Every structure is written in structure tokens, then in C-alpha cells.
Amino acid sequence: MCTAEIIAIGSELLLGGRVDTNSLILSKGLAAQGIEVRFKSVVGDDVDDIGMAIASAAKRTTLLLITGGLGPTIDDVTREAVAKVTGNPLRLRPRALESIKTRLQSAGRSVSDNQRRQAFLPAGAVLLCNTAGIAPGFAVQWKRCLIVCLPGVSHEVRRMWTDSLLPILRREGFLSSAIETRTIHVFGLLEGEIDTRLREIVPAGMPFHLGLLASPLGVSVSLTQERSEHIERRRAGKSHQRKSNVSLGVLMDRITNRLGQHVFSANGEPMEEVVGQLLLARGVTIALAESCTGGLITHRLTQVAGSSAYVDRGVVCYDDRAKIELLGVSEASLKKHGAVSAQVAKSMAQGIRTRSKADVGLSVTGVAGPGGGTARKPVGLVYVGLATSKKSYTKVFQFHGEREAIKLRSSQAALDVLRRWLCNDS
């Protein structure tokens, strides 16, 4: 499998003001092409620091992607750093300048001296057109490493990935090996539990790579197979590497069967889309009563186009008084069991279903933290309630992490409770 490295440029990324999203965009795109990112780093706006990072990365990888530092301001010095390290001096590229002029003229602006700087690229570099912005990208070969420089604006990176980067990677032979990757998404099992269940499911000595990536939304399980002629020749030359008739599809079926109902998506859909498709297919409407998630579940469901067909309403009942007034939760139950309890979660789900006349009511109540926890009810304790005309039940979860992560996990857990009901009982 081909490997790559990513460097994100920008002092603002080191000061906590901005998050490096470009690395995520590029890593996902590279992984889909079977190129594994082995290192990521963030470097401030200093020519020497950027140069050292480039020189170090070029010793480890044959593909280096750099984002940021291509703008018109004095602290945009990626071009200078690449020129200094590679020994390729900056040269004015007429085609790049013309592209900048055309882009600015369409907005009724003229080219300033600073913006003209963006048309200076290292000698011998291949120009990468930027149809979503002003700053051109470029690629230059240095020793055994292809250095690709892209702007720091995320939507420009997304566009250039398709328009400019993929074609040059294909031309330079990085995509010459036909690679196939399958991914499923799992909720309700920890990364270690999944690893135990899938141990030895991939044949030893075969070109299959199993990957696990955990997040508050669950665990993504990927399986990649490389089918290049190089792999076939390597197999033929090593007798201890037995040839397998097991296909990627067969292995993915085995993995899915081993993980069972914990698998909620096999085609990359997020949980809210999966649940939305099930609600729509079964003609079921839903109403939501949220406490600790503050409307997050309703927001996620209504992010899906067409959700008006199945989402009736969502109520945020953060205060106990709101639970009483809007959902009919009894004051006695709140006093006896507390707002974070199975009894109140069930009452919330029943109350929102009865008042809305939706087919199913879904509720969530818990302790999101960082304060408010006790020995009996610690931070991360969450109850999810589900009510239909025939039955009502609750499920309890204990999550860990910061407040934002607990809220996100709680929303995912509630949607998963709904998904399982739709798959089994609706």
C-alpha cells in the first residue's frame, strides 16, 4: 500500500483558534484510493520551520501533501519554504498570474502586488489550477518525494482534490494499483471489543488491511485489498504467502455477520440518514423529547432532506417544570426518582407521543457534565426512552468524555435505540 504524509501550515492552527480540517479531507480521500497517511503535522508560519518539516517528511514518504501558506500576505511563506528546501527558485508563472487576474476581475477587483506574489512558484513545479479560489497550487518532485502544495481554505481543497490532485496522482503512478476499500459503521461496541471479535478473520499473508477508527459516533471498520500486479508478483515469489480465494466481499460479509446488529451502516450513511430511511419505508412518524441533548437529535434528523415526512416535532425539556408542563411527567416521579432516571425517561417518551399523536415517542435525559454528577448518578449517565401505542421501555448508557462528546454519544445512542426498534419491532 502506498503511503503519504500531510503538513498543515498556519500559526493559527497552533493557537487554538482554528481546527485543521484539511488533513481530514485529504486523509479520507487518500484512504479511498488506498493511500495510507502515516504522519500528520502542523507547522507555524516560519520559513525555516516549514523547511525542516518538509525535509524530514521527504525522508519518510514518496508523497507529501502541504495545505496552507499560499495566500497573499507576508506570513504566507509555503512557496518560499519549498523553493529553499528543493533548491528550485521562485519564478513568475504567466498562466498562474492570468488565472489570478481572471478570478479577481470577475469580482470587479484588480491584482495587487501581494496577490501577484501568488503567481511565483518553484522552478519546474506543475501548476495545479484552483477553480474555487485565487491561490494556485503546485506540485514539485524533489529527490524521491512528490511535494504537493494546496491552499488552506477547505472548500478549495475539496474542489482541487477532484479537479487537480487526483489527476496528478494518477499520472505520477500513485494510483496505478487498483485498490478497493469497504467500510461499515458500528455503534454499541468498543474498539477493543470489535478487535477481539474480528481477530483472525483476515487470512494471514493476504493483502487485506483491517482498520478501526473510533469516534463519539461509534467505530468505523474498514477493509482494504490491494490488487496490484506488484502484489501478485510478490506472492508468486514467496512460497510461504499462500494464495487465497477469499474475496473482499466475502470477508466483509463475515465481518458484518460477526458484529451483528451493532452494524448500522454499510454504505457510509450517517445514523440519522439510516433511521430516516427506515422511518420513511415503514411509514412511521416520530416526536422527540430531549433534555441533556438540547435538541441535537431533532437537529440531526431534520438535516436529512425529506425528513418532514416522518419528523412531527421536537421539544427541549431541560428544566423539570418544562417536563411537567409540556410532557405531563408527574412531579411525584421527578421528586422520587430524579430527572435522570428510567422512570422519567419513559414518561417523557410517553408524554411526547401522546401529545403529538406520532407513532413513536423518543426521549433522552442524562448528566452531560462537567458538573452535576453524583456517586449514584455520575457524569455521562444517560437514559433513552421509547414509547409506542403498545409498549414503552428505556435503555441506560454510561458515557465518558467532555460535555460535547457526551451529548453527541447520547444523540447517537438514542437514534440507535430507534433504529433497532424499527428493524425488529415496528
List, for residues 266-289, the tens digit of each pLDDT value.
988 999 999 999 999 999 999 999
As a whole number of angstroms, the distance between CA 271 and CA 216 comes to 12
pLDDT in tens, 366-390: 999 999 999 999 999 999 999 999 9
Residue ranges of alpha helices (H) inside 109-228 are 113-117, 154-160, 166-171, 191-198
**Position 191 pLDDT exceeds 90:** yes
Higher pLDDT, 227 or 165: 165
Greater pLDDT, 183 or 7: 7
For the chain, domains (ranges, CATH) are 3-171 (3.40.980.10), 181-265 (3.30.70.2860), 271-424 (3.90.950.20)
Q: How many CB atoms lie within 10 A of CB 362?
A: 29
**CA separation for the pair 424, 361 (Å, rounded):** 17
* The predicted structure's pLDDT at residue 234: 39
Say what the pLDDT of residue 1 is.
Answer: 61
Range of weakest confidence among 156-160, 203-207, 291-295, 408-412? 203-207
What is d(CA 25, CA 8) in angstroms, rounded to the nearest whole number?
12
| Torsion, Cα of 278, 282, 284, 286 (10° steps) | -10
As a whole number, mean pLDDT of residues 97-119 equals 93
Give 244's pLDDT tier (boundaries 50, 70, 90).
low
Backbone φ and ψ for 241, nearest 5 degrees, come out as -95, 95
CA distances from 44 to 8, 49, 67, 356 (A): 9, 7, 12, 54
State mean pLDDT over 150-159.
Answer: 95
* All cell numbers assigned to 84: 529553499
Residue 193's Cβ-count burial label (10 Å; 0-12, 13-18, 19+) is middle
Which stretches within 283-341 are classed as H helix? 296-302, 320-327, 331-337
What distance in Å separates the CA atoms of residue 365 and residue 344, rounded to the nearest whole number? 8
* CA proximity to 407, closest of 372, 371, 364: 364
Nearest C-alpha neighbor of 272 from the set 295, 297, 291: 297
Whole-prediction pTM: 0.75
Sign of the alpha-carbon torsion through 147, 183, 409, 331: positive
CA–centroid distance for 334 within its chain: 38
In this structure, the strands spanning 3-9 and 63-67 are parallel
Report the 10 Å Cβ neighbour count for 196: 10
Residue 112 clears pLDDT 50, i.e. is over it: yes
